[in-house]
Amino acid sequence: MHYKLSLIGFGNVARALARLLLRKQDLLKSRYDITFSFTGISTGRHGCAVNPDGIDIHKALERVESKQSISPLSSFNVQDSLAVIQHSQANLMFENSPVNTQTGQPAIDHIRTALELGMHVITANKGSVVHGYHELSALAKSKGKTFGFEATVLSGSPLFSVFRETFPLAELISFKGILNATTNTILSRMENGESYEDAVKYCQSIGLTETDPTNDVDGWDAAIKVAALITVLMDTPFTPQQVEPTGIRDITPEMIAKAKAEGKRYKLVCSVEKSGKQIRARVEPKLVDPSSPLYGMMNSSTGVTLRTDVLPDYSIITSEREGMTSGPVETAYGLFADFVNAVKN
């Protein structure tokens, strides 16, 4: 079957996804008889393009990365994301617009519109899950479509699907982990003697954080991931504002050196505990020692340990390996996996 795809947001992750789809297109065809074309693209700074007969994705990538508008690739005039969704004639939309931790907009409107038009929707946008999960999941079910969001937490590593599909009727009572790769990388590099400013610049240079790293370093990215896990896996609406995160800006090189001398290190730790109907969630820098499973998670490694009412602790960890840093490609794979699972049958 041929799928027409629209990309709402064409930043680092969406461009990595486009390249991954191109790299895997022969396997998609041979294994699942799936082909695809891109019929709509919306960017924040480089215009929009729609062509139901297919946009030249190579030219779109080239134009955006050379800071040119993609509008010349469009078969008719479109000015915003909603127009792209409405005119793309897509079967599936990838929503990767910038995350709004306060409201989840405009991603929620994008997803609602696409589902109402009969599209599958795959997203890495955490705001849409935190602020729209129950509504959007119900809408997707009513339309017989997929609302996939595996890429929102732990990048491409399956977490939501593992818990929901392989832990039937287990109740999640607590979890603890490192959910933000950027802050973990910054703290690791500071431990090796690099300044905070240089560590941030490094993360920006490899696409691990945005030009404005506020969401990462102030703990909001971790907080919204915590809220997403609570909302979905504990089936309890929760917002990042309820987490009230503390970031890493106040961690100084002197503090890191002192901790290192004592055989400890700082981590931005996410922790959640449920007692009855009460949920306590925190994101804050904490000192950990070698007895903690978080101690050995360095650089862009992330992970979480889940505790349920029926099984011992279960951990999912994404470990950075030599020569490969977690980032846009891994998140893109989460989107790709949701796409394959949505359409392969």
Evaluate whether residue 38 is within a structural domain: yes
Query: Which CATH number belongs to the domain containing residue 101 in this structure?
Result: 3.40.50.720
Evaluate whether residue 160 is within a structural domain: no
For residue 206, what pLDDT is reported?
Answer: 86
User: Which residue has 């405009």 as its token pair?
Assistant: 106
Q: Comparing 327 with 259, which gets the higher pLDDT?
A: 259
What is the share, in percent, of the chain residues with pLDDT greater than 70? 98
- The answer on 245 and 132 residing in a single domain is no
The predicted model gives 183-194 an average pLDDT of 96
The predicted model gives 105-110 an average pLDDT of 97
- The answer on 314 and 337 residing in a single domain is no
Q: Which residues are annotated as catalytic?
A: 225
**Number of domains, the chain:** 2
- The answer on 90 and 176 residing in a single domain is no
Q: 74 pLDDT exceeds 80?
A: yes
Q: 156 pLDDT exceeds 90?
A: no
The predicted model gives 235-255 an average pLDDT of 95
- The answer on 185 and 128 residing in a single domain is no
- The answer on 207 and 120 residing in a single domain is no
For residue 345, what pLDDT is reported?
Answer: 73
What's the pLDDT tens digit per position in 20-72? 999 999 999 999 999 999 999 999 999 999 999 999 999 999 999 999 999 99
What is the share, in percent, of the chain residues with pLDDT greater than 90? 88
For residue 324, what pLDDT is reported?
Answer: 52
- Residue 216 and residue 182 in contact, taking contact as beta carbons nearer than 8 Å: yes
For residue 325, what pLDDT is reported?
Answer: 55
Bridge partner residues of 304 (DSSP) = 177, 316
Q: What region does 33 belong to: left with phi over 0, alpha with psi -120 to 50, or beta?
A: left
Evaluate whether residue 163 is within a structural domain: no
What's the pLDDT tens digit per position in 274-318? 999 999 999 999 999 999 989 999 999 999 999 999 988 999 988
Evaluate whether residue 161 is within a structural domain: no
Range of the domain at 335: 2-155+329-343
- The answer on 13 and 149 residing in a single domain is yes
For residue 326, what pLDDT is reported?
Answer: 57
Query: Which CATH number belongs to the domain containing residue 222 in this structure?
Result: 3.30.360.10
- The answer on 298 and 271 residing in a single domain is yes
Amino acid at 164: R
For residue 318, what pLDDT is reported?
Answer: 85
- The answer on 308 and 336 residing in a single domain is no
Cα 114 to chain centroid distance, Å, stands at 19
For residue 323, what pLDDT is reported?
Answer: 47
With 0-12 / 13-18 / 19 or more C-beta atoms within 10 angstroms meaning exposed / middle / buried, residue 287 is middle
Q: 128 pLDDT exceeds 80?
A: yes
- The answer on 282 and 250 residing in a single domain is yes
- The answer on 174 and 317 residing in a single domain is yes
- The answer on 204 and 150 residing in a single domain is no
- The average confidence (pLDDT) of the chain is 94
Evaluate whether residue 178 is within a structural domain: yes
Q: 319 pLDDT exceeds 90?
A: no
Evaluate whether residue 45 is within a structural domain: yes
Phi, psi of 26, rounded to the nearest 5 degrees = -65, -40
Evaluate whether residue 39 is within a structural domain: yes
Q: 176 pLDDT exceeds 80?
A: yes
**How far, in Å, CA of 176 to CA of 340, rounded?**
30
Tokens for 142? 């009513």
How many Cα atoms sit within 13 Å of 62 on the Cβ side? 7
Q: Give the strand order in the sheet containing 2-8.
A: 48-50, 35-42, 2-8, 92-95, 120-123, 147-148
- The answer on 66 and 18 residing in a single domain is yes
